[in-house]
Structure 1
Amino acid sequence: YYGDERLLGAMQFAPAEYFPRAQELPAGPPSPDAILITCAYLVDLQTPWVMQSLFLSVIGEARDRGVKAIETFGYRYPEGESGYERFFVHRTIFPSDFLADFGFSPVRWDGRVALARLELGGLQPVAEGTRAKVLRQVKDAFVPAPVPQRPY
């Protein structure tokens, strides 16, 4: 990721089969139908937004390629942990709360480590709930039908 004509950060991702060691990681193995984000590198501690931009770029590229899901490994840090600890010390594992903000859900936990997954299937239709159905029926009963207008 470049900004102001200099490197601000980089991220590595590919189908999980390209990372054989991922099969051995706690909370693994990753799913064969997903791409796996394996690491990210931020150049400057003063630009934490770059990590968000990198994730958004991968999500966009994966959608464009028709990928079913993205997986990565998350870590549940103690509350109040510094940004330095969360994003600079471990470049191969990401804060689980940060991943949740993008919609990643844990697949498996092993201690503080989780395999997190983001489904890229798109919007799913939701069946009309009881409340919505009642409101629609009340509206239909009390709101008069539109009066037809004569064409001019």
Structure 2
Amino acid sequence: MSINVTSLTLDGLDKLSAHARRCVFWEMDPAAIKGARGFCDQEFEKEAWLSMVMLEWGSCGQVAVVDGKPVGSALYAPPRTVPRAQLLPTGPVGADAILLTSIWLEPGAEQQDLGSTLIQAVVADLVRRGVRALEAFGIRDINGDRSLDTQSGGVAPTRAVRECSPEECMIPATLLEDNGFEVVAPHPRFPRLRLELNRDHGWKEDVEAALERLLKTASVSLVDIGERTPVGAP
């Protein structure tokens, strides 16, 4: 099985799940959605929002493809472009942070820990772009029901048709915590979590260790070459 994660592009919106293409939970003011109920083309509104963010800021999503089939996605954007972020009780998002809004996984994908893989891809993109922090509004089940979580602490899988709601469209706080996020604004239901991108993480230590092994190997090779007897020497 080959997993490939790439940045979302305007001509690649078909790689999003059916729910992700029409969900405007984060992208539209709830009052506007309610007022336009029955008259709002949610897929059109979502595409318009994605186009606006990409033109003003750049790619705002990561898409996971397994053996040529899209299996998951993550969306993120500057908080000022996300109306719902202004309404949650643990806002506002830090001025130096980008907001991770949502992660969707196709059925079965959660077993491959693709939620974590998508978060790592988001982090890599933002580090490259010089962003200092990544924040997200997590969701907890205050009744202790962990049905929102998967065996890997991930996201509930997508279904062909489902209604937008906090349970469907927000990221489980456990997934965020499992990937290094820390709570900066506690709340029994909707905590806000933050990941500092200028902090050393485990994946960075792995890269540094691999580089160190490579340098040691190169040093040994150079020593061996220097100690060899020149050709033709007595």
**TM-based fold match above 0.5:** yes
1:47 aligns with 2:109: yes
Question: Please, which moves more after superposition, 49-58 or 94-103?
Answer: 94-103
Name the structure 2 match of 1:112.
189
Q: Which runs of no fewer than 5 residues in structure 1 stay unpaired?
A: 124-152
How far is the alpha carbon of 1:91 from its aligned partner? Answer: 4.2
The structure-2 alpha-carbon separation of the partners of 1:35 and 1:113, relative to structure 1 and needing over 3 Å to count, comes to same
Q: Using CA pairs below 8 Å that are at least 6 residues apart, which structure has the higher relative contact order?
A: 1
How far is the alpha carbon of 1:79 from its aligned partner? Answer: 4.6
1:17 aligns with 2:80: yes
User: 1:63-102, aligned counterparts within 5 Å?
Assistant: 63-77=127-141, 79=144, 81-82=146-147, 83=149, 87-88=155-156, 90-102=167-179
The structure-2 alpha-carbon separation of the partners of 1:118 and 1:66, relative to structure 1 and needing over 3 Å to count, comes to same
Q: What is the CA RMSD across the aligned residues, in angstroms?
A: 2.2
Write 1 or 2 for the structure with the bigger share of helix. Answer: 2
Whole-Å Cα distance in 1 between the matches of residues 134 and 195 of structure 2? 5
- TM-score norm. by structure 1 comes to 0.71
The structure-2 alpha-carbon separation of the partners of 1:110 and 1:80, relative to structure 1 and needing over 3 Å to count, comes to closer
8 Å contact 2:101–2:171 — kept in the other structure? Answer: no
Q: Which runs of no fewer than 5 residues in structure 2 stay unpaired?
A: 1-63, 158-166, 201-234
**Which stretches of structure 1, 4 residues or longer, exceed 4 Å deviation after superposition?**
none
Q: How many residues align?
A: 122
8 Å contact 1:17–1:32 — kept in the other structure? Answer: no
The structure-2 alpha-carbon separation of the partners of 1:38 and 1:59, relative to structure 1 and needing over 3 Å to count, comes to same
How far is the alpha carbon of 1:36 from its aligned partner? Answer: 0.4
8 Å contact 1:75–1:113 — kept in the other structure? Answer: yes
Write 1 or 2 for the structure with the bigger share of strand. Answer: 1
- TM-score norm. by structure 2 comes to 0.47
DSSP-derived class of the 2:146 partner:
coil
